[in-house]
Amino acid sequence: MAMSEDYHLMWKNLGLDLEAHDALLGVLGPAYQDIYLAQKNRPEGMGYFDFVMSEVHGLRIKELLDEKAAGRKIIGSYCVFVPEEIVLAAGATLVGLCAGADFATDEVEKLLPRNTCALIKSTFGFKLGKVCPYLESADMVVGENTCDGKKKAYETFKGLVDNLYVMDLPQMKSEQGRVLLQSEYYRFKSAVEELTGVAITTDSLKEAIKTVNAKRAAIHRLSVLRQADPAPISGLDALLANQVFFYDNPARFTASVEKICDELEARVAEGNGAFPKKTPRILVSGCPQAVPNWKLPLIVETSGAVIVGEESCVGERGARNLTDDSGKTVEEMMEAIVERYYQVDCAIFTPNQDRLAHIEEMATKYKADGVIHYGLQFCQPYLMESIPVEKALEQQNIPTLRIETDYSMEDMGQLKTRIEAFIEQLR
Amino acid sequence: MAMSEDYHLMWKNLGLDLEAHDALLGVLGPAYQDIYLAQKNRPEGMGYFDFVMSEVHGLRIKELLDEKAAGRKIIGSYCVFVPEEIVLAAGATLVGLCAGADFATDEVEKLLPRNTCALIKSTFGFKLGKVCPYLESADMVVGENTCDGKKKAYETFKGLVDNLYVMDLPQMKSEQGRVLLQSEYYRFKSAVEELTGVAITTDSLKEAIKTVNAKRAAIHRLSVLRQADPAPISGLDALLANQVFFYDNPARFTASVEKICDELEARVAEGNGAFPKKTPRILVSGCPQAVPNWKLPLIVETSGAVIVGEESCVGERGARNLTDDSGKTVEEMMEAIVERYYQVDCAIFTPNQDRLAHIEEMATKYKADGVIHYGLQFCQPYLMESIPVEKALEQQNIPTLRIETDYSMEDMGQLKTRIEAFIEQLR
């Protein structure tokens, strides 16, 4: 991508493989051009996100390094179960780490089974290929025992990353499960406090909760605006905002999303959409889509439909609930944090009925004509769950298409054929 | 298989699909003949296991139905984490349920992703095809949150089986993890007591621990005898004993194994083996091999090697440790049960270093020339773990071959070629 400065020295100092990293950016830049900038009738406010993406390995990394130089710690994460509130309250910064593109696959498959999901392989690929400046900037990398794939992969990842911290998670939302989450969040709090040398206080935690809630409230506002027909923003652009949610400075992100929402409100009032009115509306549900994984919305929105919501960790599953900030003590607010994250209806939980209820609720709220269940190949929790989900949705006369894919482009043609046929039946 | 009686009426009353079940037995009988009875120089004591297998859907089911008629409850299980001590102490019988062969695959793949391991698919296939008399006899079927595949599949299985009880399990052997296991074993105890109407007492629990320990001690004795060169029993036959461990009446099983051990001791003293002295010796490590999954030992032992140990749930991982029976109260013995099962080093745990130590220990103890890691395709925990395990073993100069397979016969030729080449390098 075209960046405003030459960051090669910064990347070199971070230990990146400059040649490989240049090659990566050399693919990403034109891809962003073709996928994002080629869209028609985009909100002007997306210019901010275009800039963010053009500087995603540049200016944002420089900012993080400036924070580090000023004594602030950077914590990297791969999952929405890592509470940003705790990180911010200890004066640290949380960033999502690269997991959205294939890289160094041959090297990865020496360490992981070929039958591993693309997201986990990507995590390893960015490390082995030395092309993720976020990972290399992080003072602590947080893994979590969510699915079997990640849980077991982190054992090997620990040998590649010298500051990996692994958070345990329950499999059931039982009394014991809640106690485990609570205990793990306290353990994480201690680890973050130890890393930063900053003790979390009532004030700092309250402030952090407000900051993260503001970010979520802004993205909620954006989501609600997508209820309009015509949808004022494309699914591609909305997904990008949901992706940048994990990378950007929280306050700046919030302000930028609010600004775009002001514009979208005006668009809705004028009946101005990213696509014409009556364009078939799709709810996407399933696995997370990390930057630069724009494969599904690209296919959908070049096949005559618009995506109006993401039931996903990078989307409403991850950002849905606010954390109660009314607690008077650190303990009360920690309890509110546990309560908030405990509601995340990831398919790692059994049973996980709330998720179906949320999909149905979102389909109604966003006036979706159909649901596409996005499953990453070999992601057992979501692939398993997608079959009963599809049955339940179809019983409610919500047309549903289950797709199973990875990060390669090999199945683009086949997916496009299936998705076009699905959209045709929604008209 | 040729059974001593006509059990069709019994099977019909259990709700089996007689035609499908006849077809299943029509395949199993000749397969057993070709794989087991065709072996040379078998211990005479294997006659008992041949009989058990010939009656595995006949006489043993009749026994269970007789127990039920006398008011005893039958509990079915798919995992070594279900404590038989608790079941026996409440006057019930625990049986392993069918999961070792493909059945009704087309129907199964309407409910489960195609990329699901053969063991889970088999569980569904036996239910959908109505061909598992154990499952149909069970008053309670116990599932467990071990791997993602099973955890999520049981959600769907619950719709097929009206008496499914799901046990939660920890993912880490942490303080919280131990508390969860303890709490789940107490919950299971209550559920079993409620099912049977029998309160577990100090005496009944002590007696049950002794019964299960005796079974384990017998199979340990059998294992130790396999240290001899020549090995006095084939891997196929030893695996069968380990498989029948899950089906047979415990006391009768113990007596039968002790009897065969007497014979094996004499064989060892005489230097009489199932294969000639100096036959390359293989330790099998990895996923469970449930009846009638004899694919790997069949290939190995018709390729010039002998299997001398199974680091597996159906094998030493499952039967290794005894439960301390010295407790003076139910609580003390429950604690001993938790302690005993907590040591099982299944790949669902993270980290799981004990398993590597046990593989190395077994390789030494059984004088293995090499290790074959047996992975079921799509079994993420074992496939993930197999890569660092292979690396660690190779570093200790223990030749290791990782295989990944399912229950079909399609890859027999390819596996045989790889295994023959592996054995060749051990000579």
A34-43: pLDDT as tens digits:
999 999 999 9
Return the H-helix or E-strand segment holding B75.
Answer: strand B74-77
N-term to C-term CA, chain B: 38
Q: Which of B148, B386, B390 would best serve as a mutation to test chain A binding (most A beta carbons within 10 A)?
A: B148
What contacts B23, CB < 8 A, 6 or more positions away?
none
Closest chain B residue to A112, measured at CA? B384
The reported pLDDT for the residue numbered A249 is 97
Long-range contacts of A111-114 (CB under 8 A, 24+ apart): A111/A156, A111/B387, A112/A153, A112/A156, A112/B384, A112/B387, A113/B380, A113/B383, A113/B384, A113/B386, A113/B387, A113/B404
Average pLDDT, chain B: 97
The reported pLDDT for the residue numbered B4 is 62
Chain A environment of B184 (Cβ under 8 Å): 176
Smallest Cβ–Cβ distance between A350 and the set B155, B174, B384 belongs to B155
Average pLDDT, chain A: 97
CB within 8 Å: B145 and A171: yes
Q: Which of A119, A144, A152 would best serve as a mutation to test chain B binding (most B beta carbons within 10 A)?
A: A152
Average pLDDT, integer, range B139-160 = 98
State the Cα–Cα distance between residues A37 and A29, nearest whole angstrom: 11
The runs of H, that is alpha helices, within A324-411 are: 330-342, 353-365, 380-395
User: How far A278 CA lies from chain B's nearest CA (Å)?
Assistant: 34
Average pLDDT, integer, range A277-287 = 98
State residue A196 phi and psi, 5-degree precision.
-90, -20
Contact B226, B306 (CB under 8 A): no
State residue A371 phi and psi, 5-degree precision.
-120, 135
A57-70: pLDDT as tens digits:
999 999 999 999 99
| pLDDT above 90 for A1 | no
**Which ipTM did the prediction report?**
0.96
A154-201: pLDDT as tens digits:
999 999 999 999 999 999 999 999 999 999 999 999 999 999 999 999
Give the amino acid at A176. Q
| pLDDT above 70 for A287 | yes
Q: In the block, which residue shows the tokens 């618009």?
A: A306
The reported pLDDT for the residue numbered B5 is 75
The reported pLDDT for the residue numbered A5 is 75
The reported pLDDT for the residue numbered A3 is 63
User: How far A114 CA lies from chain B's nearest CA (Å)?
Assistant: 10
CB within 8 Å: A384 and B148: yes
The reported pLDDT for the residue numbered A382 is 98
Residue B30's SS3 state is helix
Average pLDDT, integer, range A24-38 = 96
Chain A residues contacting B via beta carbons under 8 Å: 110-113, 115-116, 145, 147-149, 151-156, 166, 168-169, 171-172, 174, 176-177, 179-180, 183-184, 347-348, 350-352, 377-378, 380-381, 383-388, 404
The reported pLDDT for the residue numbered B371 is 98
What contacts A227, CB < 8 A, 6 or more positions away?
A308, A365, A366, A367
CB within 8 Å: B152 and A380: yes
A345 pLDDT tier (thresholds 50, 70, 90): very high
CB within 8 Å: A380 and B377: no
Residue B257 Cα distances to A92, B143, B208, B253, B263, angstroms: 62, 28, 19, 6, 10
Chain B environment of A116 (Cβ under 8 Å): 380, 384
| pLDDT above 70 for B369 | yes
Chain B residues contacting A via beta carbons under 8 Å: 110-113, 115-116, 145, 147-149, 151-156, 166, 168-169, 171-172, 174, 176-177, 179-180, 183-184, 347-348, 350-352, 377-378, 380-381, 383-388, 404
Contact B322, B340 (CB under 8 A): yes
User: How far B407 CA lies from chain A's nearest CA (Å)?
Assistant: 18
B2 pLDDT tier (thresholds 50, 70, 90): low
A292-324: pLDDT as tens digits:
999 999 999 999 999 999 999 999 999 999 999
Contact A409, A101 (CB under 8 A): no
CB within 8 Å: A171 and B155: no
Smallest Cβ–Cβ distance between B149 and the set A172, A348, A380 belongs to A380
Sign of CA dihedral A265, A249, A102, A287: negative
Smallest Cβ–Cβ distance between B112 and the set A169, A351, A384 belongs to A384
Closest chain B residue to A377, measured at CA? B115
The reported pLDDT for the residue numbered A284 is 98
Chain B environment of A377 (Cβ under 8 Å): 115
B251-286: pLDDT as tens digits:
999 999 999 999 999 999 999 999 999 999 999 999
Q: Percent of chain A having pLDDT more than 70? A: 99
Average pLDDT, integer, range A331-344 = 98
Chain B environment of A386 (Cβ under 8 Å): 113
B176-234: pLDDT as tens digits:
999 999 999 999 999 999 999 999 999 999 999 999 999 999 999 999 999 999 999 99
Average pLDDT, integer, range B394-401 = 97
Chain B environment of A147 (Cβ under 8 Å): 148, 380
Contact B239, B297 (CB under 8 A): yes
User: How far B63 CA lies from chain A's nearest CA (Å)?
Assistant: 35
CB pairs under 8 A between A and B: 126
CB within 8 Å: B381 and A179: no
User: How far B147 CA lies from chain A's nearest CA (Å)?
Assistant: 7
Please tell me the pTM assigned to this model: 0.97
Q: Percent of chain B having pLDDT more than 70? A: 99
State the Cα–Cα distance between residues B208 and B325, nearest whole angstrom: 9
Return the H-helix or E-strand segment holding B166.
Answer: strand B164-167
